Amino acid sequence: MIDITNSSSTTLFQGSFTSGSVMVLNGVTFINAVGNKVSVTLQIAHGAVSGDTFVTPEPGTLGLLGTGLAGIAGLVRRKCVRAA
């Protein structure tokens, strides 16, 4: 869903994308790619602005990964201490 408003909160454009869609409105091009990467290109008058956004891992996933790595490090340390 995209909602473009001005400083007075007046809706200038409202719409939604389906996966893999391209929408052109008054010389402004919006591109929605399939997958975890979304590319957006804005072509206005005599120039263009483009950029990519990527989905970042959620904090819970990184927390679980960190906890698992800390547990493995603890087991390795315990084995090394017992062997010495």
Sequence ranges of the domains in the chain = 2-83
Chain segment 27-69, per-residue pLDDT in tens: 555 555 556 555 665 555 555 555 565 666 677 778 888 899 9
**Can you read off the two tokens belonging to residue 75?**
């087991």
Residue 76 has pLDDT above 80, yes or no: yes
Question: Any residues with CB less than 8 A from the CB of 24 and at least 6 apart, and which?
Answer: 30
Q: How far apart, in Å, are the Cα atoms of 83 and each of 6, 24, 30, 31, 79?
A: 69, 68, 62, 59, 6
Single pTM value for the model: 0.32
- How many angstroms separate the CA atoms of 54 and 50, rounded? 14
